[in-house]
Structure 1
Amino acid sequence: MIGPRYYFGIYHWRRRLRSIATAAVVIVAAAVAGRRTRSRSRRLVAAAVGVVAAVRIGRTLRRLGSPPPWALERAKYDALASRLPFDRAQRVLDVGCGTGRSLVGLAPHVPDGVAVLGLDVFDDRVIHGNGPQLARRNAARAGLDAEPVAADAATLPLETDSVDVATACRVLHDLPAEDAAAALAELRRVCGPEGTVGVLELPLVPDDVEDDPDPESYWSDRIVEAGFEIEALERLELAGRAEPYIVVVARPNTDR
């Protein structure tokens, strides 16, 4: 049997393993409490607590492998890439490339000879196995010659107006609101006057946003505030997936 072609690592592994460990402690404590009491009602409460904790472990284990380390879900990248002018680009930037899943997803749409940069902090607190070598390897297996760059999206180490197409796939909502705004401002700085930015997001906003805005409106407003004009805004529904994706395509607003 041929193994998976790509390996993208396990997402949020430390946080989820802590959740599993906490639930396991609750199960042990509930079992001990149930054995030490003669009260039937207290035993039932202890048993109920243990069951709830066990269910939580099961759910967390499922999430630990979701998406699986080799899965791509290509349709979402196709939906974004089909709206971006890769055929006219000389330099492409993918912000938050991680282990290269987005690079692999975009690869079929990027012509040969285009310089591709994959930028990420490459922090293994978020993804087990994260690193520039893994991003480069996965991209190469997809036929894309990408150069990983270890840097923060809020301070891009690139010259102004130096990028023709920039993408940010499922990364902005993981940042604090201030950092997400800074990242969008940096994308505006490095994006050439005729450039294009494509954003692929979950229907989520940063955790530190106090109100509960509509994600489509929130991200389109932030992109406009960063100095872009929205060209396309779409809610992407994929078969077999409960949550939709948000696809935004924008160009620099040269009147500002």
Structure 2
Amino acid sequence: MASYFGVYHWRRRFRRLFGALALVVAGLLAWRRGGRLARLVGLALAAAGAKRGYGPLDRVLSPPPWQPDRWKYRAPREAMPYADAERALDVGCGTGRSLVGLAPAVPADCRLTGLDVFDDRVILGNGPGLARRNAAEAGLGVDVVAGDAARLPVADDTHDVVTACRVLHDLPKETAESALTEARRVLGPEGTLGVLELPVPHDPDADPLAYWQSLVEDAGFAVEEAREVDGGSYFLLVATPEGAVDSG
């Protein structure tokens, strides 16, 4: 059973791709009419369609829907204390790329939950079943839950590890702040938060690493590690709960 992680931003990409394909088809039809002018116009239309379609087609396959991209999750996989964890939560698991990437570090006796809103308007095929299937393909048993990162359907102080991999930058700032506050709430006193983020802060003028660190600290965490990974393509933050949580 092969992995399949869906096509990202499929509606916009398919719309552009179909528009380019329409030009190619129109050009071929014109070319078939046989007249010299029709052939020239047809060739021009087909060439324009092919040129216009190359970018959308490339983006449809970026990342390839069948490619796990485990390397992107190497840093949190190695940093998170899964060996000592009884319960772990991965926020924003989507179709399961992060679950598959983290899988080698998760022992069989650690109960892992993957949570996502599963919005198939963003990722074609995004749903709990696909996330569960991809995790199983990686040898990982996981509980998959549909839910909002800003209002986690999880009890207080119940998890040893919470991860949010390449999620916060896709959320509005206020929602990202709420998601981190919720992660603080559900982590046990000795728990660990792992955040893997892109250099895309909500404030485009901010230093990305300092921005993400500030956001994590403002949610009630002490940042133990904050560094660039993969040449600055990503940032890893490892943090522990600080102080008491106001559950009111």
Q: Same fold (TM over 0.5)?
A: yes
After TM superposition, the score normalised by the length of structure 2 is 0.83
Partner of 1:216: 209
Partner of 2:221: 228
Q: CA deviation at 1:5?
A: 2.6
Work out the percentage of aligned pairs sharing the same amino acid.
55
Q: CA deviation at 1:102?
A: 0.6
Distance 1:255 1:95, change over 3 A: closer
Partner of 1:148: 144
Distance 1:12 1:162, change over 3 A: same
Q: 1:180 aligns with which of 170, 176, 182?
A: 176
Q: CA deviation at 1:213?
A: 1.3
In structure 2, the gaps of 5 or more residues are 26-43
Report matched runs for 1:1-256 at 5 Å. Answer: 5-20=2-17, 55=51, 57-206=53-202, 209=203, 211-237=204-230, 244-254=233-243
Contact persistence 2:69–2:97 (CA under 8 A): no
Distance 1:214 1:57, change over 3 A: farther
1:193-230 CA-partner distances (Å, limit 9, x unpaired)? 10001111111124xx4x52122111111000011111
Q: CA deviation at 1:6?
A: 0.9
Take 2:61 and 2:172, find their aligned partners in 1: how far apart are those partners?
Answer: 25
Take 2:117 and 2:243, find their aligned partners in 1: how far apart are those partners?
Answer: 30
Question: Deviation above 4 Å: which 4+ runs of structure 1?
Answer: 21-28, 53-56
Q: CA deviation at 1:72?
A: 1.9
Task: Compute the RMSD of aligned alpha carbons.
Answer: 2.5
Q: CA deviation at 1:140?
A: 1.1
After TM superposition, the score normalised by the length of structure 1 is 0.81
| Total equivalences in the alignment | 228
Q: Which amino acid aligns with 1:166?
A: V
Take 1:141 and 1:21, find their aligned partners in 2: how far apart are those partners?
Answer: 32
Contact persistence 2:103–2:139 (CA under 8 A): yes
Q: CA deviation at 1:101?
A: 0.8
